Amino acid sequence: MRKAKGIKILSFVIFIVVIAFFVLPDLWLVFASIEKGATLNINLPTFENIALSNYVHVLPILSMPLLNSLYICGLGTILTVIIASIAAYPLSRYEFKLKWPIMYGMLFLSVLPITAMMVPTYSMFVVMNLINRRWAVSLFMSATALPVNIWIMKNFFDSISIELEEAAWVDGATRFKSLFYIVVPLSIPGVTVAALLAFVGQWGNFYVPFILLSSNDKMPLSVSIYNFFTSRGLPLYGQLAAYSVIYTVVPVIVYFLTAKNLTAGLNVGGIKG
């Protein structure tokens, strides 16, 4: 009994420590973003030191990077979801000789580090005159997100009974109509999971746009926040925190907008084989 109680206490302490590692940086961001003369210390806000001047200073600076991020990540997410769905449907519905070698090949590609591909990718972009083109960056980030998202979408298509489509075919529906009116509506939770994973992954991607974009006016927030931190001598922690809060709030909003479908999608599909 004493041993079990000790294990329970130890587990609780470890849990508190892990939570602190995640919560404390977030508390610093929120408090420092509204604090006059913010430092690296976490100071509880008081009436005397609260100010919105940090946000006033950074909003004009981050408006263009914010639009760039929305463009790059939005286009990349749309491409990822559409292409992954088109590729996953036949992998779910048909059996052919090279199906599982293809599936496991995609799974292998999903674990390759992007940094290992950037030298040949940069060379290819130079040859094809794609450097400093935002849509090309979206296309590349979408391609890197496809393997795992194809797996996810295949699992969701597997969970939709083929008998529903067969019944529609018997009633005279074409394969396209059965796909559009039956499979697509039922796969919305899966599309939500794939879209959220693609968007969050691309929103936080620093390395790819940093290498493939050369103009500051085309950089997304993930790169601009680095430039903001390194181009002003002594760091202005309050403004940096305000910049970070705005950078963080977009994926949080996307999460809450998709939370209902996301929960259903995780319960149905997951990443099973």
The tens digit of pLDDT for each residue in 56-115 reads: 888 888 889 999 999 999 999 999 999 998 888 888 888 888 888 888 887 787 777 888
Per-residue confidence (pLDDT) for residue 82, from 0 to 100? 92
CA 5 – CA 152 distance, rounded (Å): 40
Query: Given phi > 0 = left and psi -120 to 50 = alpha, else beta, which region is 270?
Result: left
Per-residue confidence (pLDDT) for residue 106, from 0 to 100? 79
Instruction: Quickly tell me which residue has 């600076």 as its tokens.
Output: 61
Question: In the predicted model, what is the mean pLDDT of residues 3-25?
Answer: 79
**Helix 53-93 to helix 99-110 angle, to the nearest 10 degrees?**
160
pLDDT band at 233 (very low <50, low <70, confident <90, very high): low
Cβ neighbors of 28 (< 8 A, separation 6 or more) are: 40, 42, 241
Higher pLDDT, 267 or 238: 238
pTM: 0.82
CA 98 – CA 106 distance, rounded (Å): 12
Instruction: Quickly tell me which residue has 């990822």 as its tokens.
Output: 80
Per-residue confidence (pLDDT) for residue 230, from 0 to 100? 62
Q: Identify the structural domains of the chain with CATH numbers, from first to last.
A: 1-51 (no CATH), 56-268 (1.10.3720.10)
Instruction: Quickly tell me which residue has 């794609």 as its tokens.
Output: 130
CA 204 – CA 182 distance, rounded (Å): 34
Question: In the predicted model, what is the mean pLDDT of residues 224-240?
Answer: 75
C-beta atoms surrounding 19 within 10 Å: 10
Per-residue confidence (pLDDT) for residue 273, from 0 to 100? 42
φ and ψ at residue 50, rounded to 5 degrees: -80, 135
pLDDT band at 37 (very low <50, low <70, confident <90, very high): confident
pLDDT band at 269 (very low <50, low <70, confident <90, very high): very low
Query: How many residues comprise the chain?
Result: 273
Q: Which residues pair with 50 in a beta bridge?
A: 35
In order of 146, 198, 203, the CA distances from 257 in angstroms are 23, 15, 16
CA 214 to chain centre: 23
Tell me the torsion sign for CA atoms 198, 202, 207, 208: positive
CA 129 – CA 146 distance, rounded (Å): 24
Per-residue confidence (pLDDT) for residue 54, from 0 to 100? 85
CA 49 – CA 33 distance, rounded (Å): 11
Per-residue confidence (pLDDT) for residue 11, from 0 to 100? 79
Residues 116-127 have pLDDT tens digits of: 888 889 999 999
Least confident range of 122-131, 172-181, 197-206: 172-181
Higher pLDDT, 4 or 255: 255
